Amino acid sequence: MSGPHARPPVEVVTFGCRLNAVESEAVRRSAEAAGCENTIVFNTCAVTEEAVRQARQAIRRAARETPDARIVVTGCAAQIDPASFAQMPEVAAVIGNADKAKPDVWRTARFHDGARVNDIFALPETAHHFVAGAVDSIEGHTRAFVEVQNGCDHRCTFCIIPYGRGPSRSAPAGDVVAQIRKLVANGYREAVLTGVDMTSWGHDLPGQPTLGRLVKQILKLVPELDRLRLSSIDCIEADDDLVEAFATEQRLMPHLHLSLQAGDDMILKRMKRRHSRDDAIRFCAMLRSVRPDIVFGADLIAGFPTESEEMFAGTLALADECGLTHLHVFPFSPRPGTPAARMPQTAREVVKDRARRLREKGAQRLRLHLEAQQGRILEVLTERGGIARARDFTMVKVGDVAPGQLRSAKIVSQERERLIGMLDIA
């Protein structure tokens, strides 16, 4: 079917993290390069049971709405439990995370022939879509996500991700720099480094360079890049070069999302995390002392097994003690196959109640931050939908302007989770 409502030959429905967003672009291009048509790909997430349920629901809906389309499932949920998707009558094929961006796999994939998912732990090489050099733009995105690392060698007791993503592996610095140059040449003003466990970048490369070294190299070798942002990191593994880059490099955005998970040492121990609550507080204070405009976000889990009310109070207090602004709150969700799923569970209503209180804490912290911005003039990067992002990642409503512009905005008010700004007002 041609004309304005014609569906693209390959449609990719993305769930989960930024890594999946950038990989979906490589998946779409690889499937198109292989000549796939009338195909809908679900790039799934497995971080919670709810994410998997939503993918199944979306697959069923797509099959109802486009009965002639070929449905292919990939991503972490497919990698971890391929048979459960292969058994769905709606599904034509299941492709593992290791193969989803390889045109050859799409060219040779046999449909309606069950799941063909390789052992993710047998993966030596780096981010293969670099090899394809496919991703020089990301549809619908103003900020360019750049995959620098994949997989994870840690085994936090609540987490299923390593079973979907495999061992930690790094994209060589030269490939990352080349990728960012391509994206900047295509008009991107901001690059966001992304991975699963980004602070382990370089561990598998000659000389074991650090993430901080990579950041400095990118800023030195791509002077035309206006903004470099990091997605989520593990504070206890931040290296000295990274701290120094935050202290000295204005093009490195003053925003860091931390994988903190809880604010009680016994719970952190039972999660097999590598930091204590004091480590987190010290890290935030230290980084704030060298970069006063920095804003922190954090992932926090509510209702981890064995968590008492007193332990939870430690997590609530951590938001204030670290001065967190953007909270991502996860009600604990037992993932089959993880040690935490076998621990004595916290009652569901308690989990939900604690998640609600943590979100309220998050809203209160964000409100404080938004109030402190009133009357200021902020540099913003415009996006679609009338919004823009400040350097510290705060959302600013600026009205309908073309995306991808660096502009100044005078902050005149706030609403819900964002500021209201007037562009180019001195």
Choices 10-18, 105-113, 153-161, 386-394 (CB under 6 A): range interacting with ligand SF4: 153-161
Pick 161 or 327: Cβ nearer ligand SF4: 161
Among 41, 161, 319, 387, binds ligand SF4 (CB under 6 A): 161
Among 98, 138, 159, 252, binds ligand SF4 (CB under 6 A): 159
Residue 357 found at the interface with ligand SF4 (CB under 6 A): no
- Within residues 229-258, the interface with ligand SF4 by CB under 6 A covers none
Pick 106 or 330: Cβ nearer ligand SF4: 330
Residue 156 found at the interface with ligand SF4 (CB under 6 A): yes
Provide the sign of the torsion angle of the four alpha carbons 46, 48, 49, 54, taken in this order: negative
* Least distance in angstroms from the C-beta of 401 to ligand SF4: 37
Size of the site for ligand SF4 (CB under 6 A): 10
Pick 157 or 346: Cβ nearer ligand SF4: 157
Among 60, 116, 154, 369, binds ligand SF4 (CB under 6 A): 154
Pick 167 or 404: Cβ nearer ligand SF4: 167
* Least distance in angstroms from the C-beta of 347 to ligand SF4: 24
Choices 71-79, 156-164, 310-318, 326-334 (CB under 6 A): range interacting with ligand SF4: 156-164
Choices 151-159, 222-230, 289-297, 304-312 (CB under 6 A): range interacting with ligand SF4: 151-159
Pick 46 or 409: Cβ nearer ligand SF4: 46
Choices 148-156, 289-297, 355-363, 385-393 (CB under 6 A): range interacting with ligand SF4: 148-156
Residue 45 found at the interface with ligand SF4 (CB under 6 A): no
For residue 21, which of 31, 13, 11 has the smallest C-alpha distance? Answer: 13
Pick 82 or 162: Cβ nearer ligand SF4: 162
Choices 81-89, 157-165, 319-327, 348-356 (CB under 6 A): range interacting with ligand SF4: 157-165
Pick 258 or 370: Cβ nearer ligand SF4: 258
SS3 of the chain: the string is CCCCCCCCCEEEEECCCHHHHHHHHHHHHHHHHCCCCCEEEEEECCCCHHHHHHHHHHHHHHHHHCCCCEEEEEEHHHHHCHHHHHCCCCCCEEECCCCCCCHHHHHHCCCCCCEECCCHHHCCCCCHHHHHCCCCCCCCCCCEEEECEECCCCCCCCCCHHHHHCCCEECCHHHHHHHHHHHHHCCCCEEEEECCCHHHCCCCCCCCCCHHHHHHHHHHHCCCCCEEEECEECHHHCCHHHHHHHHHCCCECCEEEEEEECCCHHHHHHCCCCCCHHHHHHHHHHHHHHCCCCEEEEEEEECCCCCCHHHHHHHHHHHHHCCEEEEEEEECCCCCCCHHHHCCCCCHHHHHHHHHHHHHHHHHHHHHHHHHCCCCEEEEEECCCCEEEECCCCEEECCCCCCCCEEEEEEEEEECCEEEEEECCC
Among 117, 152, 211, 390, binds ligand SF4 (CB under 6 A): 152
Residue 148 found at the interface with ligand SF4 (CB under 6 A): no
Among 23, 25, 147, 197, binds ligand SF4 (CB under 6 A): 197
Residue 196 found at the interface with ligand SF4 (CB under 6 A): yes
Are 85 and 91 in contact, with CB atoms under 8 Å apart?
A: yes
Give the bridge partners for 261, in sequence order.
300
Residues of the shown chain interacting with ligand SF4 in the complex, contacts defined by CB under 6 A: 152, 154-156, 159, 161-162, 196-197, 259
